[in-house]
């Protein structure tokens, strides 16, 4: 026993500061947040009472949460995830066989990811300006000049329920290059001999892709969906910098911020945050479990 302890003890000691820090800042804080969500804390002084699930049931009948935030984040997630997947996949497909200029093009599609969501929002807020007539500008101006005036849109300032879908444009601009990189890496991972064998059997290139490459891209697809979905749920700054007072693009992450730090409704904010955590954990925990296990089998 002592010998074994001497063998792995130093290692455990070396990483213990990190483990303790994460135990407190991740698990301790998450737990404490759930505790706050079960209290009635409102205002400056924390309340340590226990009101059960009252904050959660209140949210269930809260119009801002149920009629705006939840449908909004659902619409945004679907449009953003599906859009980024399609664009990223098409880019990867086009680039995979492009022998000339591949590196430069790949860098070009990827660079928006290096730009902060705040700067992205500031640029795109002007691009998606909804002015009409003489003051038409941004994307609408381009559309009108291209003779596609009928496509002009009020974007995120639209009164439609789908206004938030416009935010998928800057979000997708930022992240579809990432999806492209994931798919490209996946396509590279398919051994050339496998493709060659199919070709020798007389398969055309599209058939080689469909029968040999496509099945091996499923894990990549799963990674991409999980990563995009969790980014979608937790993103705050993009919406905040875009138009923070616009209920049409309000999300649970924004409501949590405003109700907690502007309104002082700490318990309600904690309940919203706990629901976000639940949403993220349902996609992330199986994913981590699968990844760590798949690696061990290797």
Partner 1 sequence: MTAAPARGHGRIRSPWAPYTTTARYLALFALACLFILPVYALLVTALKLPAEVSVVRMWQWPHELSLDNFRIVWPKLRDGFGNSVAMALPASALSSLLGAANGFVLSKWRFPGADFAFALILFGMFIPYQAVLIPMFQTMSASGLRGGLSGLIMVHVIYGLPITTLIFRSYFAGISDELIEAARVDGAGMLRTFAFVALPIAPPAFAVAMIWQFTSAWNDFLFGVLLTNKDRWPITVALNNIAGSQAVPFNEAMASALLACLPTLAVYVVLGRFFLRGLMAGALKG
Q: How far is the CB of 162 from partner 1 (least distance, A)?
A: 21
Judged by CB under 8 A, does residue 46 bind partner 1? yes
Please select the residue that binds partner 1; options are 89, 212, 230, 250, rule is CB under 8 A. Answer: 230
Please select the residue that binds partner 1; options are 38, 136, 165, 239, rule is CB under 8 A. Answer: 136
Residues 238-277 that bind partner 1 (CB under 8 A): 240-241, 252-253, 256-257, 260-261, 266, 269-270, 272-274, 276-277
Q: How far is the CB of 28 from partner 1 (least distance, A)?
A: 7
Q: How far is the CB of 183 from partner 1 (least distance, A)?
A: 11
Q: How far is the CB of 160 from partner 1 (least distance, A)?
A: 21
Please select the residue that binds partner 1; options are 1, 2, 3, 10, rule is CB under 8 A. Answer: 10
Q: Which is nearer to partner 1, 60 or 122 (CB)?
A: 122
Judged by CB under 8 A, does residue 205 bind partner 1? yes
Please select the residue that binds partner 1; options are 52, 66, 127, 216, rule is CB under 8 A. Answer: 127
Judged by CB under 8 A, does residue 12 bind partner 1? yes
Please select the residue that binds partner 1; options are 40, 54, 137, 216, rule is CB under 8 A. Answer: 137
Residues 102-121 that bind partner 1 (CB under 8 A): 105, 107-119
Q: Which is nearer to partner 1, 145 or 161 (CB)?
A: 145
Q: What is the DSSP string of the chain?
A: -HHHHHHHHHHHHHHHHHHHHHIIIIIIHHHHHHHHHTS---SSSPP----TTHHHHHHHT-HIIIIIIHHHHHHHHHHHHHHHHHHHHHHHHHHHT--SSHHHHHHHHHGGGGS-HHHHHHHHHHHT----GGG--HHHHHHHHTT-GGG---GGG-SSTTGGGGGHHHHHHHHHHHHHHHHHHHHHTS-HHHHHHHHHTT--HHHHIIIIIHHHTHHHHHHHHHHHHHHHHH--HHHHHHHTT-GGG--HHHHHHIIIIIT--HHHHHHHHHHHHHHHHHHHHHHHHHHHHHHHH-
Judged by CB under 8 A, does residue 192 bind partner 1? yes
* 239 touches 253 (CB < 8 A): yes
Q: How far is the CB of 226 from partner 1 (least distance, A)?
A: 9
């Amino acid at each position: 026993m002592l010998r074994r302890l001497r063998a792995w003890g130093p290692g455990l000691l070396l990483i213990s500061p990190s483990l303790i820090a994460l135990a407190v800042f991740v698990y301790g804080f998450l737990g404490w947040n759930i505790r706050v969500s079960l209290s009635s804390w409102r205002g400056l002084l924390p309340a340590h009472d226990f009101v059960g699930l009252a904050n959660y049931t209140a949210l269930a009948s809260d119009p801002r949460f149920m009629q705006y935030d939840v449908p909004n984040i659902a619409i945004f997630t679907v449009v953003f995830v599906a859009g980024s997947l399609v664009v990223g996949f098409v880019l990867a497909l086009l680039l995979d066989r492009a022998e000339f200029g591949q590196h430069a093009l790949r860098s070009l599609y990827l660079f928006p990811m290096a730009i902060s969501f705040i700067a992205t929002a500031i640029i795109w807020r002007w691009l998606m300006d909804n002015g009409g007539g003489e003051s038409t500008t941004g994307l609408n101006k381009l559309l009108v000049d291209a003779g596609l005036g009928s496509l002009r849109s009020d974007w995120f300032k639209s009164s439609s329920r789908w206004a938030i879908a416009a935010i998928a444009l800057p979000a997708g601009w930022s992240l579809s290059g990432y999806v492209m990189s994931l798919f490209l890496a996946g396509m590279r991972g398919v051994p050339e001999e496998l493709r060659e064998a199919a070709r020798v059997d007389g398969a055309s290139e599209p058939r080689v892709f469909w029968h040999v490459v496509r099945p091996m891209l499923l894990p990549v697809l799963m990674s991409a969906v999980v990563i995009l979905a969790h980014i979608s749920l937790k993103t705050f700054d993009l919406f905040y910098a875009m138009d923070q007072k616009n209920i049409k693009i309000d999300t649970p992450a924004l409501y949590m911020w405003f109700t907690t730090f502007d309104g002082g409704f700490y318990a309600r904010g904690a309940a919203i945050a706990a629901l976000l955590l639940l949403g993220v954990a349902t996609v992330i925990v199986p994913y981590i479990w699968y990844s760590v296990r798949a690696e061990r089998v290797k």
